[in-house]
Amino acid sequence: MRKLLIPLFAMAVLTGCKTANISDGNTSVPINHDKAFSAAYKMIKADDLKKNLYVIASDAMEGRDTGSPGQKKAGEYIIDYYKSLGISHPKALNSFYQKVPSEFMKKRGGGNLPDSENILAFIEGSEKPEEIVVISAHYDHVGTKNGVVYNGADDDGSGTVAVMEIAKAFQQAKKAGKSPKRSILFLHVTGEEHGLFGSEYYSENPVFPLANTVVDLNIDMIGRDDPANRGKQYVYVIGSDMLSSQLKVINEAANKRTNNLELNYKYDDLNDPQQLYYRSDHYNFAKHNIPVAFFFDGIHEDYHKPTDDPEKIDYPLLEKRTQLIFTTAWDIANRVDRIVVDKK
């Protein structure tokens, strides 16, 4: 996650599985949690998250600074993973890459960053393929400083591997004959640490029309706990009721049916000094009036330090948080009606 740097204009923008019923305030929408869902859900495993994270956050990736050889190596690993699952890229692209040009970042304060890439994997919906559910995480970190590698295991290696694991679960369901009704875009963005550049570039050059984008579920740091929640089974959820009256309800219902984590809404307070609503990639969707939920574990003692290493991740808790996000995405992708945008 990027360090706190709030432009003034941003402050002005916003002062056991079974069939379950989710009340959205107007209707009761049945979401079928059948055998296909159950099998997919069980595919999300702490051991697999750990295996991928020990690669993504290894010294070999050199801290994954934007456009660096280490970040490109991490990107290749991510793409090879999707290929191994039989998941491809959007048809509109010739590859998994969406180039984010150096000039685009430079004009936004990115200094002399080299060209970089967003990575896009895609599962097409079976009934409403034109409607897109985005699951995002940034795969860059802050690189190497004075010869010391900043591995960024939590920031945002944890989000990166969670997106990969969620993709595996959806692909498992597809193989079992239960493709999501809406399409799922697994979006790994670059340049977050320098200024949310990858997600901004996507929002200005979308592969799918933003008008067809249903939601962005953004994952940035979900592998640790912060001092205020030490040892708790929790996750911060930010922004889920900023634009839609239904998204928070759906996420809470998904949570109750899964691991029943403590959902902490502390950072939904726009007066909170951390201003986290503006500090990760979901914001570049929210500013286009797309509902978002940002999943986060808090600011801990290893944030943006070389000690943010994979051995410090709470993998059972990472598994539970990933399962929650998968279930939320599943319910949004498979509900009858698209979630509403009814707040400003």
Q: Give a three-class secondary structure readout of 249-276.
A: HHHHHHHHHCCCCEEECHHHCCCCCCCH
pLDDT in tens, 125-164: 999 999 999 999 999 999 999 999 999 999 999 999 999 9
pLDDT recorded at residue 2: 75
Examine the pLDDT at 34 and tell me if it is beyond 90. Answer: no
Examine the pLDDT at 16 and tell me if it is beyond 50. Answer: no
pLDDT in tens, 190-246: 999 999 999 999 999 999 999 999 999 999 999 999 999 999 999 999 999 999 999
* pTM for this prediction: 0.93
Burial 226-244 (b: 16+ CB within 10 A, else e): beebeeeebbbbbbbbbbb
Cα separations in angstroms, 301 against 40, 224, 307, 312: 34, 10, 9, 11
pLDDT recorded at residue 3: 72
Examine the pLDDT at 14 and tell me if it is beyond 60. Answer: no
What is the pLDDT confidence band of residue 270, given thresholds at 50, 70 and 90?
confident
pLDDT in tens, 58-79: 999 999 999 999 999 999 999 9
pLDDT recorded at residue 40: 97
pLDDT recorded at residue 33: 78
Q: CA 68, CA 150: separation in Å to the nearest integer?
A: 13
Examine the pLDDT at 21 and tell me if it is beyond 50. Answer: no
Dihedral of the alpha carbons of 10, 132, 94, 205, in degrees to the nearest 10: -30
Q: CA 116, CA 233: separation in Å to the nearest integer?
A: 36
End-to-end CA distance of the chain: 25
Residue 272 corresponds to which amino acid?
A: D
Dihedral of the alpha carbons of 288, 203, 62, 306, in degrees to the nearest 10: -10
pLDDT recorded at residue 344: 77
Dig out the tokens for 266 from the structure. Answer: 């502390």
Name 66's Cβ contacts closer than 8 Å, sequence gap at least 6.
105, 110, 113, 114, 116, 140, 190, 191, 193, 194, 197
Residues 215 and 291 sit within 8 Å (Cβ to Cβ): yes
| CA 284-279-194 angle, 5° bins | 85
What is the rounded average pLDDT of the residues 36-44?
96
Question: How high does pLDDT run on average in the chain?
Answer: 92
Examine the pLDDT at 28 and tell me if it is beyond 60. Answer: no
- The fraction of the chain above a pLDDT of 70, given in percent, is 92
pLDDT recorded at residue 217: 98
What is the pLDDT confidence band of residue 7, given thresholds at 50, 70 and 90?
very low
pLDDT recorded at residue 63: 98
Q: CA 170, CA 172: separation in Å to the nearest integer?
A: 5
Radius of gyration of the chain (CA): 18
pLDDT recorded at residue 31: 60
pLDDT recorded at residue 5: 47
pLDDT recorded at residue 226: 98
Examine the pLDDT at 22 and tell me if it is beyond 50. Answer: no
